Chain A
């Protein structure tokens, strides 16, 4: 089904905070999950009869299980610090896409049913009954949040709208109101092992093809091993790396790094997915179940190290949550961080002089780097705070000669989401995705105009997929999008080391 036509926002040379346009995005409604998709995850197949009571009961349960939710429901003072920080607000002007207003959709229900003031003076504190209209607004606007956490950087109490969005989606799933895109993908991971639904034989076939291509390209036998017992490294990478452009270029880059460094490695057909949409829907059990495949594969193959490929939310789950979900990792080599990001691995090899590059190979590219939100604000690389900003840039400047950062207020911890994260990378949300990309597109346009930038490097499968689709709306060529290891791949010296 095609979505209705919409207007792509105009790019301005400096950011402008839009005036509030009430209801500008109220028509957005991500496709809901059909019965079988819901059933596969153990959720009700359709909206349950007594959904109001169920929502309130579930909310009470979540308030007791998540300190974040309990504190964030109480602490907001409506100061407005976050009100101009969300890319979806900046791109659409819809006030319910301001983080505070998005939280308030739940907060006004919380106040009505869980607080003295809201029970007795609802009008005074903006508390409302949980009606069908309120639920519909939840579904619309909690599926317009990419859980990028930019608001949490600027909130004086650190209120993280992602936590509220996750809780809302978890509550809606529990009454039978799931989102098709995320829940269908989670079902595929449980059934097949990855988000794209690629079965083992297809994977093996693809990897053989990549070996041949790389051989044709370089003359070197670079291996793409899968299910190899006793390998040192198990690489967990987003399944998009196997099939999508430009993702696959980075996969070739990882393989070349392992080859050049002489590290034995393998992929796993059982855990052929780094992504974890369990986080997007705020469901701890789903997230844990998906992650469990990694532990099973690691034990089965007897590897010593876990390395994660270029994927933003996957790295947040891996870096911040794996130890909680599937730790302790006492069966792995304690000399290496668990998990380790492929950029940490490559950077470490570069710093030790173990890799050699022909930087000129990338001379046709004038490069900028897009910090992906989950890497920037939900994880780390290296041994110092902010290493997640330093390490990818250090790799780029080691393998290429021309690099320019975008404006400081649009990178590092202030980076803008690509517009497609958090379970929104679906065609039925195209309008939202295009509008949400506006702040990043403006920052990109400035470095394109000032420095002739023609390549935006990134380390996230969702960012790559989102930008290749959205860049043309803003008049850019989609071939500008690529991975950091795509640049590594181009410049790395093989064979003659």
Chain B
């Protein structure tokens, strides 16, 4: 077993643990914090099923962003959809045999890779070209786009420029999952690609990527507009009633 294999195997165990535990911890924090008042942005759905539909539109179509800015919506939505397709395409490395849907998505996933890089380019261009967005951008906002671009470009490089040994790589991944480590091909592009993905997983729970779980907990979006019909009261607010 080469040192390289050991390093990457450990790296991915650590990255997975940080991602899962870190996000779970954040979700627990969000779930535990009470929402003492009814603050849906109205007009809002009146029922729980209406709220689920509103949230679905928000998460699948980015409805509010669409209302706000068509350019940001085009690039942002395209990036997220293509990232989903590319991720689905990569599931083939984790499965033996490969599920039919994952097989079917393979050609789409390749096209999506190019679109994803283009969309990231568009998002980054906005950070430079729109003076308002330039003003609010921090170094981490730029580096996040750079990281995602580097992941996308290194991936496309392996598909179209310098092929890597994907049979051996798949054996490595399956080995990780079965705790039966197999050697990792020492291809520099692959190593860069994997290291960046691990980095992305590690920074997820300590960065703005928390918008992904966060949106589901946003009271302006996940509350039903039924304040008059149902009395909404949090534990600490109820305690005030007892005192008085």
Interface residues of A (CB under 8 A from B): 17, 19-20, 22, 63-68, 70-72, 74-85, 95, 98, 100-101, 104, 115-117, 123-126, 149, 152-160, 163, 284-285, 288, 292, 319-321, 323-324, 327-328, 337-339, 376-380, 384-386, 388-389, 413
Please name 7 further chain A to chain B contacts, defined as beta carbons within 8 Å, in addition to the given A78-B136, A385-B42, A413-B42, sorted by A numbering. Answer: A74-B211, A81-B69, A83-B136, A95-B132, A104-B136, A155-B64, A160-B220
Decide if B156 is an interface residue (CB 8 Å cutoff). no
CB within 8 Å for A65 and B217 given contacts A116-B206, A321-B37: no
CB 8 Å contact bits of B134-145 with A (1 = contact, 0 = none): 011111110100
- The listed residue with most B CB atoms (<10 A of its CB), out of A17, A20, A67, A324, is A67
Decide if B8 is an interface residue (CB 8 Å cutoff). no
Count B interface residues, CB 8 Å: 63
Can you name the residue of chain B whose Cβ is closest to the Cβ of A389? B43
Decide if B52 is an interface residue (CB 8 Å cutoff). no
Decide if B193 is an interface residue (CB 8 Å cutoff). no
Chain B interface main SS type: helix
A–B complex contacts, Cβ < 8 Å, 10 sampled: A20-B132, A65-B33, A67-B217, A81-B65, A83-B136, A95-B132, A154-B68, A328-B231, A337-B228, A380-B43
Contact between A378 and B214, CB atoms less than 8 A apart:
no
Can you name the residue of chain A whose Cβ is closest to the Cβ of B67? A154
Contact between B231 and A323, CB atoms less than 8 A apart:
yes
Can you name the residue of chain B whose Cβ is closest to the Cβ of A383? B46
Bound complex: CA A212 to CA B203 (Å): 71
Decide if B100 is an interface residue (CB 8 Å cutoff). no
Q: Which residues of chain B from 7 to 34 have any CB-CB distance to chain A below 8 Å in the complex?
A: 26, 29-30, 32-34
**Minimum CB–CB distance for B221 against chain A, Å:** 4
Q: Which residues of B contact A83 (CB under 8 A)?
A: 130, 132-133, 136
- Pick from B43, B130, B135, B139: contact of A385, CB under 8 Å: B43
Q: Which residues of B contact A66 (CB under 8 A)?
A: 33-36
CB 8 Å contact bits of B24-61 with A (1 = contact, 0 = none): 00100110111111110111111000000000001000
Contact between A156 and B237, CB atoms less than 8 A apart:
no
Bound complex: CA A76 to CA B138 (Å): 12
Contact between B211 and A152, CB atoms less than 8 A apart:
no
**Minimum CB–CB distance for B126 against chain A, Å:** 7
Decide if B215 is an interface residue (CB 8 Å cutoff). yes
Q: Which residues of B contact A19 (CB under 8 A)?
A: 131
Contact between A320 and B227, CB atoms less than 8 A apart:
yes
Give the 7 A-B CB pairs with smallest separation, nearest first: A75-B214, A385-B43, A158-B220, A126-B138, A154-B68, A80-B133, A81-B68
CB within 8 Å for A67 and B33 given contacts A153-B64, A154-B64, A158-B64: yes
Contact between B38 and A100, CB atoms less than 8 A apart:
no
Q: Which residues of A contact B211 (CB under 8 A)?
A: 74-77, 156-157
Contact between A65 and B236, CB atoms less than 8 A apart:
yes
Contact between A85 and B68, CB atoms less than 8 A apart:
yes
**Minimum CB–CB distance for B24 against chain A, Å:** 15
Contact between A123 and B43, CB atoms less than 8 A apart:
no
Q: Which residues of A contact B159 (CB under 8 A)?
A: none
Can you name the residue of chain A whose Cβ is closest to the Cβ of B228? A337
Contact between B39 and A320, CB atoms less than 8 A apart:
yes
Decide if B177 is an interface residue (CB 8 Å cutoff). no
Contact between B137 and A78, CB atoms less than 8 A apart:
yes
